[in-house]
Structure 1
């Protein structure tokens, strides 16, 4: 879908394409989604809102929620934003789960609840999201969560595939710290291939 919108510095209309799912996912994972909306001079606000509110597309619910939470191109409305973010998480969006976890961990817009944050991260990690798996191990290393879940978190991250050497090294460090919290027999079991 292409929208024709005049750019402020030019009298000639310029085609602005709505973000594909892949593009939006890349923007979210690189933390550039709100900056992109701003770079696009807020021209896609109505389409983003429609895809979130009417079509209920989880990545667009995430984007629209964050626009509402942060007041980007729209009047801030964290109550509505958090509701949409929760809906996206309930539809299985790992990105929405991670953002909800972040808000609960920091206590922004909601009462701080680190246990709830761990639960959101655990759900995202169970979907194979390596960033979530790293976050989960990091939270366990802080003493949060249940030791019963350490083996599973260790197993996921230990058997993850990394395309980034720095992330792989960070994962190794996190796993060594978590290993200290686990009996050797549990560590051996967690290291078994999937």
Structure 2
């Protein structure tokens, strides 16, 4: 056993001995102490579950959201991976999309297109895109309504391909519809165009 491992075991033993000795010195009934300990374990377990599954808890997680509407702006906090991810509604279907100013066009996965009931047969010819992963064949489609915070784009052109995997990307064709967008520190600020 390494010296660091022994030091960790001693530290954990002290963390356990101190509260147990304090409880024994106060002569707290064992049943009540165990009930209290189980209650605290349950509280921490529920808290950990909520934090780890916040992306699946729609509505409840607005307090955890990294996307907020403040005045006329939608503000999106940078994720831990260094990217900006937006909570987007596409024809009424909620998705989390990567905002990529290096992408010319908004690109949707085949699963998202199917969920949003997009007609990918609008054009008889596929589009050929030059992506970071090479050339990709994609179908074009039009989204009736795409919303990010307080920004709504109607009759919005997208490309759809199984080659995109599970990732949906908001590209420059979305950002160019805004009055402005900017990055302030670790926050992306979207300002909708006035009607």
TM-score class, shorter: under 0.3
TM-score, with length taken from structure 2: 0.23
Higher helix share: 1
- Greater RCO (CA < 8 Å, at least 6 residues apart): 2
Larger Rg: 2
Higher strand share: 2
TM-score, with length taken from structure 1: 0.23
